[in-house]
Amino acid sequence: MRDEMKKVPRLRFRGFSEDWELCKLGQVANYRRGSFPQPYGNKEWYDGENSMPFVQVVDVGDNLRLVEDTKQKISELAQPKSVFVKEGKVVVTLQGSIGRVAITQYPAYVDRTLLIFESYKAEMDEYYFAYVIQQLFEYEKTRAPGGTIKTVTKEALSDFTISFPSIEEQKKLGKFFEQLDDTITLHQRKSDQLKELKKAYLQLMFPTKEERVPKLRFAAFEGEWAHRKLGEITESFSGGTPTAGKSEYYGGDIPFIRSGEISSDSTELFITENGLNSSSAKMVKVGDILYALYGATSGEVGISKITGAINQAILAIRPSKNDNSYLIIQWLRKQKNTIISTYLQGGQGNLSSSIVKNLIIMLPQNKEEQEKVGMFFKQLDNIITLHQNKLEQLKDLKTSYLQNMFI
């Protein structure tokens, strides 16, 4: 018999009042690991006539879905040595990114790094069950050292405790979260499309190194674009950090902008006037270009949304000849990978103000054309930000619902 307890979630659909059941996972579901012939490197196990999708950890995407096209296809020869799974089955990753869950949206063979839920010993809605398993692993992560589950055995899974209501309430919950995930997926797809569109426009609306005019241009503008050293058309400076540990330098009213916050409207740290005056920290104003010089954010660029102080990891850039800030920002973004690969060994190390000042930028000589190009990308960035904000709101909403509508 099940080891039963009675509980209810904090938030619930109308019409449901019965207690939920709690029991061990092994008492509710039948499951097994996938399989694949060894060694993995044998080319005979992949592709060819009658090959099928082969699901590995990398193929488990977001919002309970597999990727549209699996990284590998399993050959007809290898198929009898693997495990076939029909459409509509719950799978969960047991290695690598442990705890990623999907409901298969196409027939496939499944690798040994995933667990397959084949059937249930109680009435169970697949979507509801998938969310339960997802939440279960999230909970287990909070209990694991460092918040990371290192490994999960089939036997350990049997002792995991899950909760479930009547099948009618399960279906309501499953449908609700399925629709929410579909909405999130649509916004994610739109956001991704806009980002790809922007990449395409950056390639078309800025000349290459060998070109003097862009491939795509606003009407009524002609003439070659100019090559200029960035330092010739801008003024720039970096900041510093007040001495750590001196309480009189921190906790004031001045936002202290670090390289991970160059596009943010808030900062984690604040410094005092004393901290500003006793260090190399420098003040920037709204609209200044902020360029990250150090560490993982090297080459990132933003426009300051606040008045605050910067540290030594940021270069503040101000146009000195009335050139358009947004055009300069977009050019720096377009060139980021080239700058990193040219000046940083293996992506490691730091950029410097002298490197940035000596970058050769291409820009229209006509200030009106600069304004047009800059405004075009500013508006496109605003649209992308709106979609990204909506996406984050939906994800936060889903997290809140999951925490309140499940036990």
Average pLDDT over residues 230-251: 95
DSSP, res 107: -
pLDDT digits (tens, 9 = 90+) for 297-338: 999 999 999 999 999 999 999 999 999 999 999 999 999 999
Q: Taking the domains of the chain in order of start, what are their residue ranges?
A: 6-165, 167-203+365-407, 226-363
Q: What's the pLDDT score for residue 159?
A: 83
The answer to whether domain 6-165 and domain 226-363 are alike in fold is yes
Please check the confidence at residue 150 and state whether its pLDDT lies above 70: no
> What's the token pair of residue 398?
């889903």
Is CATH 3.20.20.70 correct for 6-165? no
The pTM score is 0.79
pLDDT digits (tens, 9 = 90+) for 181-224: 999 999 999 999 999 999 999 999 999 888 999 999 999 999 99
Q: Pick one of 3.30.70.330, 3.40.50.261, 3.90.1010.10, 3.90.220.20 as the CATH number of 226-363.
A: 3.90.220.20
> What's the token pair of residue 280?
């190399």
Please check the confidence at residue 276 and state whether its pLDDT lies above 50: yes
Closest C-alpha to 137, from 175, 93, 72, 178: 93
Please check the confidence at residue 3 and state whether its pLDDT lies above 90: no
- Residue spans of alpha helices (H) in 217-352: 230-233, 273-277, 325-334, 336-343
Q: Over the chain, what is the mean pLDDT? A: 92
List, as one string, the DSSP characters of 47-65: -STT-EEEE-GGGB-STT-
Q: What's the pLDDT score for residue 2?
A: 40
Confidence band, pLDDT 50/70/90 cuts, at residue 4 = very low
Measured in residues, the chain has a length of 407
